[in-house]
Amino acid sequence: MPSAENKHGYGFHPLGAWCDTAGEPLALMLRPGNAGSNDADDHLELLDQAIAALPPEYQVGHEPGDDPGLVRHHILVRADSAGATHDFVSGLTEANIEYSIGHPVDSGVREALLTFQEEDWVEAIEVDGTVRDGAWVAELTDLMDLSTWSEDARLICRRERPHPGAQLSLFDTSEGFRHTCFITNANALSIDAAALELRQRGHARVEDRVRCWKDCGLQNLPFVSFTQNLAWVATSLIAGALLSWAQMTCLDGELKKAEPKTLRYRLLHVAAVLVRRGHRLILRLDETWPWAAALRRAFLRLRTAFP
């Protein structure tokens, strides 16, 4: 469930969480414009909303203080460094939720990197198992005091050759690499650092979710009133969920991964006529429309899924 923020609008600061496996928005919050990006209370409230949006069987064992043995479905929460607060991590741990959260490259991390042996870096990997060119991974857990995070916290660092235009710190410039870190409580030590780094890298998909969120009405909040904008945010959540489920249930090919602007042009705005024949309603499409067949298949799949 990646989370992200979007600061467009009349002084408001929305916060959102998505189900990464389905692309479905689970929870959105509208906050005042001066709200901090690393406000642990807001993150915990958003987490509660996101968990409540899951099917009941997925919620079992994920209430604060629940016995870990009650968990029936494993949940992983990923976030950027805005989520790297002790209160948020503590809330995740109490709810038996695994986390993988960006960690700032602070003075402690830099000191650990300076003492790390060059030969201990391992090559980063891609989803298909091949080597990721120009990227290496290291585990700094034994070189850092992570006791304030959680009992089984691990710190992983990736270094990579900077791409053109990358923003580098003075430390990155002197080392010649761009460094990023994250903390995780993955308790299976058999999972190596490269595999954990690959999993955390999937958090980048949240940028796609934010872009789609904007296309569903959050590009700009249209009202001055907080209450009116709150209703607008709720409507955008419904729109995003409907599109996500339509793609999972009804669409295939490139439309299954298309963004809202593409779906709007190819499917949602197609000219059609609704006619009645006997006791049936028939939707007549323009046969010359390039995506008429895809829309027809979508309706057939919808009727099959929900007879």
Contacts of 112 (CB under 8 A, 6+ apart): 140, 143, 144
| Nearest-angstrom CA–CA distance, 68 and 115 | 37
pLDDT value, residue 190: 57
Structure tokens at 116: 């790390």
Nearest in space to 122 (alpha carbons), one of 139, 103, 137: 137
Residue of 222, 305, 291, 229 lying closest to 263 (CA atoms): 291
Q: What average pLDDT does this structure show over 144-161?
A: 91
H helices present in 70-203, as ranges? 86-94, 107-115, 170-175, 193-201
- Residue 269: its pLDDT value, please? 87
What is the model's pLDDT at position 87? 96
Q: Would the pLDDT of 303 be above 90? A: no
Structural domain spans, the chain: 3-208, 225-305
| Mean of the per-residue pLDDT values of the chain | 89
4 or 142, higher pLDDT:
142
**Cα dist. 78→178, 206, 211, 297 in Å?**
21, 10, 18, 35
- What average pLDDT does range 118-137 have in this prediction? 93
